[in-house]
A and B are shown apart, each in its own frame.
Chain A
Amino acid sequence: MTMVVHIGRTALDMIQEMGRMLIFVLSSFAWLLRPPARLYQILKQLHFIGYKSTFVVVLTAAFTGMVLGLQGYYTLRKFGSEAVLGSAVALSMIRELGPVLAALMVTARAGSAMTAEIGIMRITEQIDAMDTMAINPLQYLIAPKLVAGLIGVPLLVAIFDVVGIYGGYVVGVDLLGVNPGSYWSSIESAVEWKDVYGGILKSISFGLIVSWICCYKGFYTKQSAEGLGTATTEAVVLSSVLILVWDYFLTSVLL
């Protein structure tokens, strides 16, 4: 009986938490539509999530592309198909690795920082202070971060894809001797609009997942240093897992 009660209570808690998360994100978007427009805040967050993540995204993309070039070359050579290395690298990048890895890097760099920042504001009553000034924290603090995630992550993914493809080119063409013409022409013939469209769709949804989960966890941080640590860990883990789970579902629909 105790077991059943425990399972029931856990299930109810989970449903309640999911409901609260949904209300959180919907309210934030609803506040976004109300005046005043928080353009400066959005740009500031875009700078933080997007611009400041560029270096780590470029670095990750370059090495991911290079290792893909390396692995792809030796695999394709077994079938005498080195010429299609470009399409193998580009399709992997655009469809999967670009959106997933860029979103995971943004989670690690910007997402955790968002949770910590909002969590500290919660613990030190800065969010309450905003409330007492009749300034809605969802509008001032959360909505700009959600918008920045929605815009910033797709842009970073685009950079990731381009850098990754060039990474594959450096290894495949410059180091291993694949014909540059066939590298680019295989990309041109293999990559279709629906691949790019799928990648963009994924990156937008991943951007929302990262900013949503990380803001939510920070906003409801428990009032202690331990609570803040737990919130940050939960935000990163949950965002990362959700990105991978959502990636599977989206891929199965898009293919």
Chain B
Amino acid sequence: MIKLVGVEKTLGGQPVLRGIDLEIPKGKLTAIIGRSGEGKSVLLKHMIGLLQPDRGEVWVDGIEISRLKGRELNEVRKRFAMLFQGAALFDSLTVFENVAFPLREKLRLKGPDVTRRVEEKLEQVGLAGMGHKFPAELSGGMKKRAGLARALVMEPEIILFDEPTTGLDPLMAKTIHDLIVAMQQKFGFTAVMVSHEIPEVFGISDWVAMLKDGKIVAMALSPDFQRIADPEIREFISVGGTVPLIGAAPRS
């Protein structure tokens, strides 16, 4: 389980996180929603130690990771994978080499073992036969799938998704969401997903947390979250169409 206690972070002189208290349930898909620029990605990067908090603690299964460095931090990171907003594929490597990268460089696997595991993951994300292509030759959706395959190949306990559907058309966004849910159910990893996709996010996540003004203002099971009465939360989630705006006049 991931637990953040009083996490504060200032970037470029601007306070971004102002005391985050958050517990991510194990084996569930938790979505973090909030407006652009609220610091959702910053929050996600704290969970994997890419950023260190100015104040507060980040716990991963009983280990406080915010002050860890080098080998100790790498030990914790072995349990994680992350799908970045732009997929962050290595552009000098093919899709196959990208997915094989952690197997070859971290586990030092070679030959048929690598081929088998990579091809299996590529097939699971619907990229069978695309291994020879370079990231520049892929569409946005295919890049996300390749990124997902790379995240899954090490069979991590926790996967962090940083806006996995940004820049995709609604159909492709749904495909990626469905893929994430299917993989999460199949492998049972803990998933934390930063998303703007409302109302879709309620349909795919177990838990939803909302970040506002650098704090977690609400966290609840997905169906319960949609019934929260707080007007600011209702206004935010209504933008996506889940809750009709009261008094909003239709366009003539």
Contacts and interface: CB of A to CB of B under 8 A. Distances in A.
A107 to B, nearest CB: 22
A125 B78 CA distance: 18
A126 B91 contact: yes
A125 B85 contact: yes
A76 interface: no
B88 A129 contact: yes
A131 B88 contact: no
Given A133-B106, A134-B106, A128 B77 contact: no
Interface residues of B, number: 25
B106 A125 contact: no
Contacts of B77: 131-134
B131 interface: no
Nearest to A120: B91
B137 to A, nearest CB: 16
B92 to A, nearest CB: 8
B50 A131 contact: yes
B81 interface: yes
A121 B102 CA distance: 17
Contacts of A136: 70, 74
A121 B45 CA distance: 17
A133 B102 contact: yes
B202 interface: no
Interface in B47-76: 48, 50, 70, 74-75
B105 A132 contact: no
Interface in B81-132: 81-82, 84-86, 88-91, 101-102, 105-106, 108
A120 to B, nearest CB: 8
A128 B84 contact: yes
A212 B78 CA distance: 29
B101 A124 contact: no
A36 interface: yes
Interface string B170-189: 00000000000000000000
B85 A132 contact: no
A133 B86 contact: no
**Chain A contact residues (Cβ within 8 angstroms of B): what range?**
10 to 19
Contacts of A140: 105
Interface string B10-52: 0000000000000000000000000000000000010010100
Contacts of B108: 36
Contact of B81 (A124, A128, A132): A132
Nearest to A136: B74
A135 interface: yes
Contacts of A128: 45, 50, 82, 84, 88
Interface in A88-142: 120-121, 124-126, 128-129, 131-136, 140
A21 to B, nearest CB: 19
A138 to B, nearest CB: 10
A131 B101 CA distance: 13
A155 to B, nearest CB: 24
A132 B106 contact: no
B80 A132 contact: yes
A125 B150 CA distance: 14
A129 B50 CA distance: 10
Contacts of B105: 36, 133, 135, 140
Contacts of A124: 86, 88, 91
A131 B77 CA distance: 8
B106 A129 contact: no
Contacts of B89: 126
Interface of B: 45, 48, 50, 70, 74-75, 77-78, 80-82, 84-86, 88-91, 101-102, 105-106, 108, 154, 160
Interface of A: 36, 120-121, 124-126, 128-129, 131-136, 140
26 contacts: A36-B105, A120-B91, A121-B90, A124-B86, A125-B84, A125-B86, A125-B88, A126-B89, A128-B50, A128-B88, A129-B82, A129-B84, A129-B88, A129-B90, A131-B77, A132-B81, A132-B160, A133-B105, A133-B106, A133-B154, A134-B77, A134-B78, A134-B106, A135-B106, A136-B74, A140-B105
Given A125-B84, A132-B160, A134-B78, 20 more contacts: A121-B90, A124-B86, A124-B88, A124-B91, A125-B86, A126-B90, A129-B90, A131-B50, A132-B50, A132-B77, A133-B77, A133-B102, A133-B154, A134-B74, A134-B75, A134-B77, A135-B102, A136-B70, A136-B74, A140-B105
